Structure 1
Amino acid sequence: MPKKLKTYQTSLGFYDQAIAAPSMKAALQAWGASSNLFHQGVAKETDDPDIIAATMAKPGVVLRRPIGSDGPFTESAELPADLGEGEARPRRELKKRPAKTAKKQARKIDDRAARKAAAAFEKEERRREAERRKDEAARARERARRDKAVAAAEAALAKARREHEAKAEEIEAERAALDERAEAEQARWDKQRKKLEEALRRARE
């Protein structure tokens, strides 16, 4: 049986955010929070009837409104018009209302509506999980494509290096052979030159 939903509220960046979720952990996951905002005092379970009604109408969906405003929570909220020059307002702590105020203002949700909201939350969670799996699969495919391209480039570089080294060795061998021929030719010429110079010297006597 789906767990009963509660409405949680926090302030992140330029927005107040609210969601109907079965637990604080589920709310933090939906908000994409990297730390426990409830322990930090910037998130709480809300008893505001209007916020509860809005989130229960779209369980599992993160609703927003400009931070500091009293307007309704919606899926797409505009930025607040009175932001400072390039500065975001600091997070403000959310204070819990007295218990008796909560009892007076909290709007009752019958069991049937609660079950329906909880089922809708689970459906939204499954949709989000499917999106996450889809994104992970896309990232895995991109990593595989990149790894394949890197492997192909590395293989091409290694092949070109081997070919270069083979040609360099061949050229070096040819150079060594030419040096040997040059030395032999120089030795032959020196021997011949000496004989011819000696013959020339004798002819002049």
Structure 2
Amino acid sequence: MGSDGPFGENAELPKNLGEDGRKRAAPKSAGRKSAGGKAKKSSARSAKADDRKAAQAYERERQSRERAEAKEEAARQKERERRQRAVDKAQKTLDKAREEHTQRVAALRAEIERIETRLNAGDADWTEKHDRLKAALRRARD
């Protein structure tokens, strides 16, 4: 049930209700109008208007989709840039750590070389001292 009229906050009852609450048939006019003339023009106009409204709605929706896609693409681009900054930062940290490691290894190798040089010198001193002491021992026995 209801009416064909527009929605209103203080709606009125339909005008075509009978005594028992049912709708009455709309009164038919005595003379029928011809099917041509104004009726065709108004339906053609309304069809054009409907087409125009549909085209405008489609265009609005298309623009809305494009804006949403552009927004999503901007978000993806921003995320790619954020990830690239993180990768660059991690790479820089890795390169710095590698350089520090290389420097420590070089310092340790130089220290090893100094220690080996001292060790060899100590061995040479010992060999010389050992030979002298052995010679002294032999002389003492003879």
Q: Which residue number corresponds to residue 143 of structure 1? A: 80
- For residues 59 and 103 of structure 2, the distance between their equivalents in structure 1, rounded to whole angstroms, comes to 65
Counterpart residue number, 1:168: 105
In the superposition, the TM-score normalised over structure 2's length comes to: 0.67
Q: Secondary structure at the match of 2:49?
A: helix
Q: What is the distance in 1 between the residues matched to 2:63 and 2:109?
A: 67
Structure 1: gaps (5+ residues): 1-107
2:98 maps to 1:155: no
Q: What is the deviation of 1:167?
A: 0.1
Match of 2:52 in 1: 115
User: 2:120: which partner in 1?
Assistant: 183
Following TM superposition, the consecutive aligned residue runs of length 4 or more in structure 1 with deviations greater than 3 angstroms are none
Deviation string 1:127-161 (CA, Å, 9 cap, x unpaired) is 10011001100100110011001000100000000
Q: TM-score, normalized by length of structure 1? A: 0.47
CA distance in 1, matches of 2:119, 2:51: 99
| 2:130 equivalent in structure 1 | 193
Deviation (angstroms), 1:126: 0.7
Consecutive unaligned residues in structure 2, runs of 5 or more: 1-43
One of 123, 126, 129 as aligned partner of 2:66: 129
How many residue pairs get aligned? The number is 98
Q: Provide the C-alpha distance between the structure 1 equivalents of 2:50 and 2:89, rounded to a whole number of angstroms.
A: 58
CA RMSD of aligned residues (A): 1.1
Could you tell me how far 1:175 is from its partner in structure 2?
Answer: 0.4
- Give the structure, 1 or 2, with the largest relative contact order (CA under 8 Å, sep 6 or more): 1
Q: Deviations over 1:150-190 (max 9, x none)?
A: 00010000000000000000000000001100111011110
- Higher strand proportion: 1
The structure with the larger Rg is 2
Q: Which has the higher helix share?
A: 2
Percent identity, please.
41
Report how far residue 204 of structure 1 moved.
1.2
